[in-house]
């Protein structure tokens, strides 16, 4: 089944086929490591995680790069205010970022290059832009990209080139479409930069933010590659400028497909540091929510639609996940030890429905609807005692296959694989008894487990089983 994704560049859904070797090369703009990422940022990283999982679900390989922005106004300000070096300052946030990715079950990318390790590549890129007549030095020691000289400038954001004011410059990294002009490739050193600078043919300074992504993307993925993504706020100016720098240097198309996710919102406004309306992952975990529940909330909306963050949505996630857990507990109790057999008839078309949804521009809500249908039908069949052990095992395998994309089904909940099946069956029965609030049965099963040499402890994430 074909994957059809919406390309922001052509503004149309297109069939996705790898440019080379049955492998998709994907660049994803990563965090600025000056603070803890908030769950709005993680909406973008989870959308990209779903994207890479869907590509692999379709048996296509992936090489993903995610940059770490470790030099910009914010990291420099942070380091100076704490009186430490840039490297020391960012270390804590880099580590926190990777911890958060794990808590959200986000698959690691193949490469996480940091900007400060690629200054030489960035200088080489600026040199090429000078050679091609697209860069110039200004009086303050900075270097700018001349947007009026690149005919294709503005093609991603659909800019009105009539509005371009000759010679106008923007020195900030972020600005509105209305005020676009020549942007900084290299920023000449000034006092605010403290000890942070590199030498270049144009004097002391540091790279502009946009430059790092063009340089590192081409280094790890080649001059032309398959896909590039980010949150919608990255589309302009960041991604437009990345295209300008790369295509201005190589004369080749930079990226075939651009994909952008809409924002996570709070009461209709973008969740952001500057508005102060944000939650970090650690704050939510401290309040008692699990990474699994937060992931569920963040995948449960179409990526091109804004998603409103509420605590009600977290409550609902808890209930939905408990339904999936109960169903899987019942299936595993039924399947105990059996090899996977035929799927029951009611599940014949399920994988096709799931694949059709995710391959249609990553329709995760559609895919979840397919999963819940399967939960419902499986429950009916289990309770009517109509499933064979082989069928139950096949259904479990099908849920696991769906979880390759969703990453919320088996999350933290499946108990250790070393637990013998007969013991696991008792644990699963106990989970069912507990969800039916049958405490007598739950205690009886705990005693039975203890008699067989296994202890069980109840935790927020479910039962933890250990050999005594």
Find out whether 39 and 102 touch, Cβ atoms under 8 Å.
Answer: no
**Site for Zn ion (CB under 5 A): how many residues?**
2
Under the binding rule (CB under 5 A), the answer on residue 297 touching Zn ion is: no
The span of 140-148, 211-219, 247-255, 406-414 binding Zn ion (CB under 5 A) equals 211-219
**Site for ligand AMP (CB under 6 A): how many residues?**
17
Interacting partner of 320 out of ligand AMP, Zn ion, none (Cβ under 5 to 8 A depending on kind): none
Would you say 283 or 458 has its CB closer to ligand AMP? Answer: 283
Interacting partner of 40 out of Zn ion, ligand AMP, none (Cβ under 5 to 8 A depending on kind): ligand AMP
Distances (CA, A) of 428 to 363, 422, 433, 452, 465: 32, 10, 9, 15, 11
Find out whether 181 and 169 touch, Cβ atoms under 8 Å.
Answer: yes
Structure tokens at 184: 């900084």
Under the binding rule (CB under 6 A), the answer on residue 150 touching ligand AMP is: no
Question: According to CB under 6 A, which one of 132, 272, 373, 438 is a site residue for ligand AMP?
Answer: 272
Under the binding rule (CB under 5 A), the answer on residue 29 touching Zn ion is: yes
Q: At closest approach, how far in Å is the CB of 151 from ligand AMP?
A: 27
Q: 382, 435, 439, 437: which is closest to 413 by C-alpha? A: 435
Q: At closest approach, how far in Å is the CB of 33 from ligand AMP?
A: 8
| Footprint on residues 395-454 left by ligand AMP (CB under 6 A) | none
Under the binding rule (CB under 6 A), the answer on residue 29 touching ligand AMP is: yes
Structure tokens at 429: 């029965």
Measure the CA–CA gap between 30 and 44, rounded to whole angstroms: 9
Under the binding rule (CB under 6 A), the answer on residue 234 touching ligand AMP is: yes
Interacting partner of 213 out of ligand AMP, Zn ion, none (Cβ under 5 to 8 A depending on kind): Zn ion
Under the binding rule (CB under 6 A), the answer on residue 40 touching ligand AMP is: yes
Under the binding rule (CB under 5 A), the answer on residue 26 touching Zn ion is: no
Look-up: residue for tokens 């059809």?
A: 4
Question: According to CB under 5 A, which one of 147, 213, 408, 425 is a site residue for Zn ion?
Answer: 213
Under the binding rule (CB under 6 A), the answer on residue 233 touching ligand AMP is: yes
Under the binding rule (CB under 6 A), the answer on residue 230 touching ligand AMP is: yes
Interface positions with ligand AMP (CB under 6 A): 29, 31-32, 40-41, 43-44, 230-231, 233-234, 261, 263-264, 270-272
Which residues form the interface with Zn ion (CB under 5 A)? 29, 213
């Amino acid at each position: 089944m074909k994957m059809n994704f919406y390309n922001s560049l052509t503004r149309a859904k297109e069939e996705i086929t790898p440019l080379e070797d049955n492998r998709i090369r994907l660049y994803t703009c990563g965090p600025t490591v000056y603070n803890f990422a908030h769950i709005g940022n993680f909406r973008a990283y989870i959308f990209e995680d779903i994207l890479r999982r869907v590509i692999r679900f379709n048996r296509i390989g992936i090489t993903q790069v995610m940059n770490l922005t470790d030099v910009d106004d914010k990291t420099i300000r942070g380091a100076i205010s704490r009186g430490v070096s840039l490297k020391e300052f960012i270390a804590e946030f880099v580590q926190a970022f990777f911890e958060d990715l794990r808590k959200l079950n986000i698959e690691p990318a193949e490469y996480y290059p940091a900007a400060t390790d690629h200054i030489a590549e960035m200088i080489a890129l600026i040199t090429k832009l000078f050679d091609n007549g697209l860069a110039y030095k200004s009086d303050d020691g900075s270097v700018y990209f001349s947007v009026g000289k690149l005919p294709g400038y503005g093609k991603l954001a659909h800019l009105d080139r009539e509005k371009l004011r000759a010679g106008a410059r923007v020195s900030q990294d972020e600005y509105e479409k209305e005020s676009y002009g020549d942007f900084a490739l290299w920023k000449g050193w000034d006092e605010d930069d403290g000890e942070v600078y590199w030498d270049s043919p144009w004097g002391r300074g540091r790279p502009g933010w946009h430059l790092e992504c063009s340089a590192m993307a081409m280094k790890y993925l080649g001059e032309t590659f398959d896909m590039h993504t980010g949150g919608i706020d990255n589309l302009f100016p960041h991604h437009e400028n990345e295209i300008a720098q790369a295509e201005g240097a190589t004369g080749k198309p930079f990226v075939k497909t651009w994909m952008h996710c809409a924002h996570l919102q709070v009461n209709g406004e973008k969740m952001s540091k500057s508005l102060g309306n944000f939650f970090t992952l650690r704050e939510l975990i401290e309040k008692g929510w699990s990474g699994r529940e937060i992931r569920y909330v963040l995948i449960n909306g179409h990526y091109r639609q804004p998603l409103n963050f509420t605590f009600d949505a977290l409550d609902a996630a808890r209930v939905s996940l408990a339904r999936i857990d109960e169903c899987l507990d019942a299936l595993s109790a039924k399947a105990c030890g059996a090899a996977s057999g035929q799927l029951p008839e009611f599940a014949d078309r399920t994988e096709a429905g799931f694949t059709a949804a995710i391959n249609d521009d990553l329709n995760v809500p559609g895919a979840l609807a397919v999963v819940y249908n399967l939960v419902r039908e499986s429950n009916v069949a289990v309770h009517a005692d109509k499933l064979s052990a082989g069928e139950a095992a096949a259904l479990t395998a099908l849920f696991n296959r769906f979880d390759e994309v969703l990453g919320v089904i088996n999350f933290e909940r499946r108990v250790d694989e070393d637990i013998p099946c007969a013991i696991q069956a008792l644990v699963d029965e106990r989970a069912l008894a507990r969800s039916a609030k049958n405490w007598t049965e739950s205690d009886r099963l705990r005693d039975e487990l203890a008699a067989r040499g296994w202890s069980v402890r109840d935790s927020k994430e479910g039962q933890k089983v250990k050999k005594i």
